[in-house]
A and B are shown apart, each in its own frame.
Chain A
């Protein structure tokens, strides 16, 4: 069995308004695995993602990234290991130029000069965005923004990538380019998505989250093939989409 990249056990978390977003959340992800996190709005998927690098701190339960607990004094290293790509690229791209934005993370790690430039260059090449390095983030297209947002975390050379709704708002070509980029990356990936065909295309395993906990998991094709399960958790396949046929083509 492969080593665990992510191990979360019994996570409980409530927002200040009292809403319990996580209620005994358990998930283990092996190194190199790609896992889709599915579930209705408000199920706790994004809240869980924010626990993976200590932005939110659970009231109960533990999270470990590899051999490190997500807690002080290891938080800085945890944040290097976990690359979080936020749902809205505009929230992630806050520096005046793409290049500076991609450099922000590794510079916080203390990198400077040629080493920093190399990281930025490699990350931008990996997502096919080297040609927009000197542009302002707000001048990019939706697809470019998404790929640059991915580059900003790749530049930190993370072990685990967590993507929150990576395909939302992308046109079909932008979506396909993103799939190609993600499939080319070796990192462990946790992908939060409502885009079920995207989950099938990218992830071998799917996990359904509802009411703050994992309620089902299995091979993506099997999970998506269980119509009853999907209906119980407000998940729907696009009209005419048959996961059995689609996965046969792979």
Chain B
């Protein structure tokens, strides 16, 4: 079953960060990412400070550092690309280990590297301490349209089922000797995908019937009463505030 992937991003725990209302966490996370992204690249001390704040949050969240590092692998492709900048960028050159590199390009690499790692870390902490369904609940409370958060919630619920269906279809195709090697042999894949789509659509209708049968009238009842408290907002504001203040100070001094 593909069900195991449902919690790939979430690390179960009971830390202060885990218990925070999702809306406060998301708002603080978003504000922090914006502040990190707008920090001038030359202010290396500011990035060190951002990293220190993040490390403190990771500790408070009781997330194992390995958990964060492993998930940071997602930024690798971007970072790998960034390492080509010094070779292709123009301007003043510096010699590193006998190779002439663009000074501006080196700053560019640093800029991408620092911001990608720090920004992704913020997302990893938010996703690692908030169950997926509560993330969408938080977005809803931050006034993201209900239609969008509902679609996302249902997608999350049924994604594993649809993936399972696709996998079974693929096994069934292979069992009947289908082993495509060329693009023109892909037609059965397309029709299988079409069949899964139609089945998903029909499932949607059945789910809707099941909802109507239990008195659904168009709005989801508010069941998750764990909203962000004043203390949650204060904690979020403190973290985001420190990061933003650092970014502002860096912008003023450079």
Residues of A near any B CB (own CB < 8 A):
50, 53, 55, 76, 79-80, 82, 84, 86, 88, 90-92, 94-97, 100, 103-105, 107-109, 136-139, 152-153, 156
Contacts and interface: CB of A to CB of B under 8 A. Distances in A.
A96 B156 contact: yes
Nearest to A76: B215
A86 B206 contact: yes
Contact of B223 (A79, A88, A92, A104): A104
**What 7 pairs across the A-B complex have the smallest Cβ distances?**
A96-B133, A107-B221, A108-B215, A105-B214, A91-B206, A84-B213, A92-B210
Contacts of B107: none
B216 interface: yes
Interface string B133-147: 100000000000000
B167 interface: no
Given A79-B215, A96-B133, A107 B210 contact: no
10 contacts: A55-B212, A76-B215, A84-B213, A91-B206, A96-B132, A97-B133, A103-B223, A107-B222, A108-B216, A108-B221
B3 A139 contact: yes
Contacts, number: 80
Chain B interface category by residue count: 20 to 34
B92 interface: no
Given A86-B206, A104-B214, A94 B223 contact: no
A40 B213 CA distance: 25
A246 B210 CA distance: 35
B6 A80 contact: no
A79 B212 contact: yes
Contacts of A107: 221-223
A138 B207 CA distance: 14
A104 B213 CA distance: 11
A84 B212 CA distance: 10
Contacts of B133: 96-97
Interface of B: 3, 6, 131-133, 153-154, 156-158, 160-161, 203, 206-207, 209-217, 221-224
A94 B211 contact: yes
Contacts of A76: 215, 217
A53 B132 contact: no
A78 B223 CA distance: 23
Nearest to B202: A91
A50 B210 CA distance: 10
B186 to A, nearest CB: 29
Given A96-B133, A97-B133, A103-B221, A55 B213 contact: yes
B214 A156 contact: yes
Which of B158, B161, B223 has most A Cβ within 10 Å? B223
Nearest to A104: B214
Contacts of A96: 131-133, 153, 156-157
A38 B224 CA distance: 41
Given A94-B157, A138-B157, A80 B206 contact: no
Contact of B3 (A50, A138, A153): A138
Contacts of A80: 215
B206 A136 contact: no
B154 A109 contact: no
Which of B153, B203, B212, B213 has most A Cβ within 10 Å? B213
A138 B6 contact: yes
Given A103-B221, A138-B160, 4 more contacts: A76-B215, A95-B223, A104-B223, A139-B3
Given A94-B154, A108-B216, A138-B6, A100 B203 contact: no
B15 to A, nearest CB: 18
A97 B131 CA distance: 11
Contacts of B211: 94, 104
Which of A86, A94, A96, A105 has most B Cβ within 10 Å? A96
Given A94-B157, A107-B221, A139-B6, A86 B210 contact: yes
Given A88-B206, A100-B223, A104-B223, A156 B215 contact: yes
